[in-house]
A and B are shown apart, each in its own frame.
Chain A
C-alpha cells in the first residue's frame, strides 16, 4: 500500500453539516435512533450522543466534559484501555466533545462492531473514575491541549467561541493545564453520575444495513443508566455595532485574522441561502487557485460551526498571504454589498452551483454522514432536513442571499493571532 498511517484525532467544533443518504428511524427501545444505509460500504460507523458537552460544566469546571469523555477511552478493559482493546478487534473508538453534547464514535466492520459494542456498553454503564484512569486521561488531554495551542486556526476559533457564547460552550475545549490540574476523580465521577444518562441520548448508524450494526446500536442505546438530562439553551452575547477585537500572540509564522459571525443551523430556512453566500465568500481571495492546497498556503477559509445551536460562522484570513487590513476591508466590502443589493442572476447561479457541490462533498465518510444526522437530530430537527438542503440550494433566490447577508453577516467579532516577538519566519 502507499498510504501513510494517520494518527487518531480527538477534535471538536468542526463543521458537521453535510448531505447524507436518507436517514431512517431505528427503534432502539426508547432511545431515538437513525440509520443512514450504505449497502456498498465495508465498514460501519455508530455514534452515541450523550448530553454531556461543555454546557454541562460549571464555571470552575473548564475541561471536565473532555476529561470525562477521555476517561471513557482510557477505561480498563481486558488488561488494556478500552480504546486499545477495541483497536485489537479492528474497531476504533473516539470521543468528540462539543458545546452541547459528546459524541462517541465507533468505526469498524459490522461484525467487529457487534462484538465490540458490549465492551463499550459495559464501560458506559459504570464509568470508571479512579485516580489512575482519570490521571491517564488527564495526561492525554494535556497533550491534545498543547497540540491545539500550536494551531492558529484552532486558537482563533476558541477565541471566537469565547467571545460569542456564554457559559460552558465558551470554555476551552480541553480546559487548561491549570483547570485540569484542579479537577479530581470525584469531579469526573460526579459528572458521569449526573450527565452520562439515557435522557436526551441518541444513536446514529451509517453503513450496510443488517443485524450486526443494529445489534451494536442496541447495545450502546441500552448502556446508559436511566436518567434525565434536559437540554439547556445556549446563550450568546450580542454583537456590538463595532466588532469586538480580541488579540493573542502565539509561536506562529504569520498572523491570522478570524471573523466570527452568527449563523443559521441546518433545518433553518436561512441555511441554504447562507451556504450560497458562504460559497461567494470563499472566493474572495482564491479565484485563481487550481488545486486544493494545504491551509498554510490558502489565503482564506470559511468554517461553519453548527454543532452548537445557535451556530457560528468563521472567516479566516491567512495573514501570511493576505495583508490583514486589506483582507478585512475586502470582506467587509463584500458583505456590505451583498446586503445592499441582490446578486445578479448569473452570479447567483454560479454560487448556487458551487454551494450545491460543496454541500455534496463536505462530509463523505461514514463517520461524517452519521455525524451530520446525529447533529441535527440532537437539536430536535428531523434528519430529513439534511436531505432537503441540496434541492433547497437550487431554489435560493437573490432576495434570500441578501436577507441572509443582512441578518447574519453585518456584525461580527475579530480574533487576531499574532506572532510572538522573535517567532515566525
Chain B
C-alpha cells in the first residue's frame, strides 16, 4: 500500500518565499545581515575550482524540548534536505544532479548544511538551500531517508573511539543541556523520531533570522541575490545555551561499542580570544601528527587525540586515549599535559608555533573547510575571531603570533592544571555460554 506523502504545514508557506533580488545585489561587503535577519559571510576566491554554500544554525542537537531527543537536529536537517518541496526536487537531488557533495553536521549547539559545488551551480544551490530551510518542508519519505542516514552515521560514530569518548566527556563536564545530552543517539532513538517533532524543530531552528549563510570559494558576486526570504518568519536568533558545568573532578565509567579513556577540562569562552588561541596551540603541540605526545607514543598500541573546542562559554579541552595500551600510556599523556604548564624554551616554542600555524592554514584550504570555520565562529558568537577571516593576517593569527612561552604556560596551568573529568569506556564482556 502506498501512503500519501505527508507534507508539513511549512510546505504551504513556501508560497510566501521571495528572492531578495535587487535588495541583495547591492551587497558587496564580505559579511553583514540581509533583510529578514540572515547573517552572511562571503569570501570569494576565483582561483578555486569549486565553491561552498553553507547554512549554519545555532540549535541544540537534542532539540528544544524539556525532554531531550539525541540526534534530533541532524535528523531534522537531513529530513529537510531529503524532502520534496513544491519545486519537485529535494536539496539532496539538486546537489547530487549538480555533481556536488552535500554534508550535514550536527554539533552539541549547532547544525550545519554545506554543499560543495561547481561555481556555475552556486546560485541554484543558494536558492534551493535557503528556500528549503527557511520554509522547511518535511515529508515522510524524507524522514525515512534521514533516519536511515543518521542512524548509520550514529552507529559509525559509536565505533570511532575519539567520537564516543568525547561524547562521554561532554556528558561528564556538564550537568544538563545539549553538551550533556551529547551528539550520539542509538538507532532506536533515531527511529523513534516523529515527523511532527522534526517539523517543529525545523520551523524553530531553521528560520531565516537564526541562519548564518556562508559562501566561499569561486562564488559569483551576485550569489546573494539568489537568497530566499520568508514573510512572517519569527525574528531573532536562538540564544546561546546557558552553561551548566559540573563540579570537577568527575569520574564516569560506562560500557560502549569501543573502549578508551577520556580526560576533559572546561576551558575559556570564545570571547577570551588569547586563552582560546593558546589552548589551540597547546593541543596542536601535544596531539597533532607531529605533536610531542603523538611522536612519543608512535610505537605504542594506543591512539591519542586532543583538541580545544572553542564553544561560546565555556570551551572544552578534550583528550581521548584508545587502543590496547590506552591505560598504560595514560600516565605519559597526563605528564605531557602537566608539562604544558611550564614554559617551553624559545626554539621548540618557535617550532611548535610554526607547525601550529601551518596546520591551521592547511585545515582552511578548501571552500568547505573555510565555510566550516566561518560558520562555527559565527554561531559561537565571535565571527571576527574566525581564523579564516583575513587568512594569515587575521586577528586569530595575530594573537597566535603574539603568544609567548610564558603566556601559553600560564593559560595551560590555569585551565589544565586542575583535575580533569575522567571517563572510561569499556566494551561489554562477552556473554557466558549457556
Residues of A near any B CB (own CB < 8 A): 1-8, 18-21, 37-43, 84, 87-92, 107-109, 112, 279, 283, 288-294, 296-297, 350, 353-361, 363-366, 369
Does B289 lie within 8 Å of A5, measured CB to CB? yes
Does A40 lie within 8 Å of B47, measured CB to CB? yes
Please name all residues of chain B whose beta carbon is closer than 8 Å to the beta carbon of A39 when the two chains form the complex.
Answer: 47
Please name all residues of chain B whose beta carbon is closer than 8 Å to the beta carbon of A90 when the two chains form the complex.
Answer: 354-355, 357-358
Does A291 lie within 8 Å of B97, measured CB to CB? no
A338 vs B288: C-alpha distance when bound (angstroms): 48
Write 15 A-B pairs (CB below 8 A) sorted by A numbering.
A1-B363, A19-B49, A38-B45, A42-B364, A43-B358, A279-B99, A290-B145, A290-B146, A294-B153, A294-B156, A353-B97, A359-B99, A361-B50, A361-B99, A365-B366
A108 vs B391: C-alpha distance when bound (angstroms): 14
Please name all residues of chain A whose beta carbon is closer than 8 Å to the beta carbon of B305 when the two chains form the complex.
Answer: 4-5
Please name all residues of chain B whose beta carbon is closer than 8 Å to the beta carbon of A43 when the two chains form the complex.
Answer: 358, 361-362, 365
Contact of B284 among A5, A18, A358 (CB under 8 A): A5
Number of B residues near A (Cβ < 8 Å) is: 69
Q: Select from chain B the residue with minimum beta-carbon distance to A296.
A: B156
Does B365 lie within 8 Å of A366, measured CB to CB? yes
Please name all residues of chain A whose beta carbon is closer than 8 Å to the beta carbon of B391 when the two chains form the complex.
Answer: 40, 42
Most chain-A CB neighbours within 10 Å: which of B305, B310, B354?
B354
Instruction: Add 10 more A-B contacts to A350-B97, A364-B217 (CB < 8 A).
Output: A1-B307, A1-B310, A1-B360, A5-B287, A42-B391, A84-B295, A88-B290, A297-B149, A360-B117, A364-B365
Question: What 0/1 pattern do residues 90 to 118 of B give for CB contact below 8 A with A?
Answer: 11100011111111100100000000111
B10 at interface, CB cutoff 8 A: no
Q: Select from chain A the residue with minimum beta-carbon distance to B218.
A: A360
B126 at interface, CB cutoff 8 A: no
A1 vs chain B, min Cβ distance (A): 5
Please name all residues of chain A whose beta carbon is closer than 8 Å to the beta carbon of B351 when the two chains form the complex.
Answer: 87-89
Please name all residues of chain B whose beta carbon is closer than 8 Å to the beta carbon of A89 when the two chains form the complex.
Answer: 351, 354
Please name all residues of chain A whose beta carbon is closer than 8 Å to the beta carbon of B290 when the two chains form the complex.
Answer: 8, 84, 87-88
A5 vs B289: C-alpha distance when bound (angstroms): 7
B64 vs chain A, min Cβ distance (A): 23
Chain B 348-372 interface residues, beta-carbon cutoff 8 Å to A: 351, 354-355, 357-367
A359 vs chain B, min Cβ distance (A): 7
Most chain-B CB neighbours within 10 Å: which of A4, A88, A293?
A4
Does A5 lie within 8 Å of B310, measured CB to CB? no
B187 at interface, CB cutoff 8 A: no
Q: Select from chain B the residue with minimum beta-carbon distance to A6.
A: B289
Q: Select from chain B the residue with minimum beta-carbon distance to A287.
A: B96
Contact of B102 among A87, A291, A354, A366 (CB under 8 A): A291
B78 at interface, CB cutoff 8 A: yes
Does A37 lie within 8 Å of B47, measured CB to CB? yes
B225 vs chain A, min Cβ distance (A): 21
Does B99 lie within 8 Å of A109, measured CB to CB? no
Question: Given A87-B290, A290-B90, A2–B118 Cβ distance below 8 Å?
Answer: no
Please name all residues of chain A whose beta carbon is closer than 8 Å to the beta carbon of B153 when the two chains form the complex.
Answer: 293-294, 297
Please name all residues of chain A whose beta carbon is closer than 8 Å to the beta carbon of B119 when the two chains form the complex.
Answer: 360
Question: What 0/1 pattern do residues 285 to 296 of B give for CB contact below 8 A with A?
Answer: 001111100110
Please name all residues of chain A whose beta carbon is closer than 8 Å to the beta carbon of B217 when the two chains form the complex.
Answer: 364
B48 vs chain A, min Cβ distance (A): 7
Does B307 lie within 8 Å of A293, measured CB to CB? no
B82 at interface, CB cutoff 8 A: yes
B386 vs chain A, min Cβ distance (A): 10
Does B99 lie within 8 Å of A355, measured CB to CB? yes
Q: Select from chain B the residue with minimum beta-carbon distance to A208.
A: B47
Contact of B289 among A8, A283, A289, A364 (CB under 8 A): A8
Q: Select from chain B the residue with minimum beta-carbon distance to A275.
A: B99
Does B47 lie within 8 Å of A356, measured CB to CB? no
Please name all residues of chain A whose beta carbon is closer than 8 Å to the beta carbon of B145 when the two chains form the complex.
Answer: 288, 290
A112 vs B358: C-alpha distance when bound (angstroms): 9
Please name all residues of chain B whose beta carbon is closer than 8 Å to the beta carbon of A7 when the two chains form the complex.
Answer: 289
Q: Select from chain A the residue with minimum beta-carbon distance to B316.
A: A2
A360 vs B218: C-alpha distance when bound (angstroms): 11
Please name all residues of chain A whose beta carbon is closer than 8 Å to the beta carbon of B295 when the two chains form the complex.
Answer: 84
Most chain-A CB neighbours within 10 Å: which of B103, B116, B288, B365?
B365
B392 at interface, CB cutoff 8 A: yes
Please name all residues of chain B whose beta carbon is closer than 8 Å to the beta carbon of A107 when the two chains form the complex.
Answer: 358, 362
Instruction: List the 7 shortest-distance A-B pairs measured between CB atoms, nearest first.
Output: A357-B99, A290-B92, A90-B354, A360-B118, A88-B351, A90-B358, A358-B99
Question: Given A4-B307, A290-B92, A365-B365, A357–B280 Cβ distance below 8 Å?
Answer: no
Question: Given A6-B289, A360-B119, A1–B308 Cβ distance below 8 Å?
Answer: yes
A146 vs chain B, min Cβ distance (A): 12
Q: Select from chain B the residue with minimum beta-carbon distance to A143.
A: B298
B387 at interface, CB cutoff 8 A: yes
Q: Select from chain A the residue with minimum beta-carbon distance to B357.
A: A90
A8 vs B360: C-alpha distance when bound (angstroms): 14
B406 at interface, CB cutoff 8 A: no
Please name all residues of chain A whose beta carbon is closer than 8 Å to the beta carbon of B288 when the two chains form the complex.
Answer: 5
Contact of A364 among B50, B121, B152, B376 (CB under 8 A): B50
Chain B 40-96 interface residues, beta-carbon cutoff 8 Å to A: 45-50, 78, 81-82, 90-92, 96
A81 vs B162: C-alpha distance when bound (angstroms): 29
Does A1 lie within 8 Å of B152, measured CB to CB? no
A10 vs B91: C-alpha distance when bound (angstroms): 36
Does A360 lie within 8 Å of B361, measured CB to CB? no
Question: Given A1-B280, A41-B47, A290–B78 Cβ distance below 8 Å?
Answer: yes
Contact of A356 among B99, B291, B367 (CB under 8 A): B99
Does B92 lie within 8 Å of A291, measured CB to CB? yes
B397 vs chain A, min Cβ distance (A): 9
A10 vs chain B, min Cβ distance (A): 12
A302 vs B97: C-alpha distance when bound (angstroms): 16
Chain B 276-321 interface residues, beta-carbon cutoff 8 Å to A: 280, 283-284, 287-291, 294-295, 305-310
A348 vs chain B, min Cβ distance (A): 13
B151 vs chain A, min Cβ distance (A): 10
Please name all residues of chain B whose beta carbon is closer than 8 Å to the beta carbon of A360 when the two chains form the complex.
Answer: 49-50, 99, 117-119
Please name all residues of chain A whose beta carbon is closer than 8 Å to the beta carbon of B104 when the two chains form the complex.
Answer: 291
Does B117 lie within 8 Å of A357, measured CB to CB? yes
Question: What 0/1 pattern do residues 124 to 153 of B give for CB contact below 8 A with A?
Answer: 000000000000000000000110010011
Most chain-A CB neighbours within 10 Å: which of B46, B96, B310?
B96
A364 vs B46: C-alpha distance when bound (angstroms): 12
A112 vs B350: C-alpha distance when bound (angstroms): 13
Does A354 lie within 8 Å of B387, measured CB to CB? no
A358 vs B366: C-alpha distance when bound (angstroms): 15
Question: Given A4-B307, A43-B365, A84-B290, A364–B49 Cβ distance below 8 Å?
Answer: yes
A68 vs B391: C-alpha distance when bound (angstroms): 37
Q: Select from chain A the residue with minimum beta-carbon distance to B277.
A: A1
Does A291 lie within 8 Å of B162, measured CB to CB? no
Does B103 lie within 8 Å of A108, measured CB to CB? no
Does B308 lie within 8 Å of A293, measured CB to CB? no
Question: Given A1-B310, A87-B355, A356-B118, A292–B103 Cβ distance below 8 Å?
Answer: yes
A362 vs chain B, min Cβ distance (A): 8
Question: Given A4-B307, A40-B47, A90-B358, A354–B98 Cβ distance below 8 Å?
Answer: yes
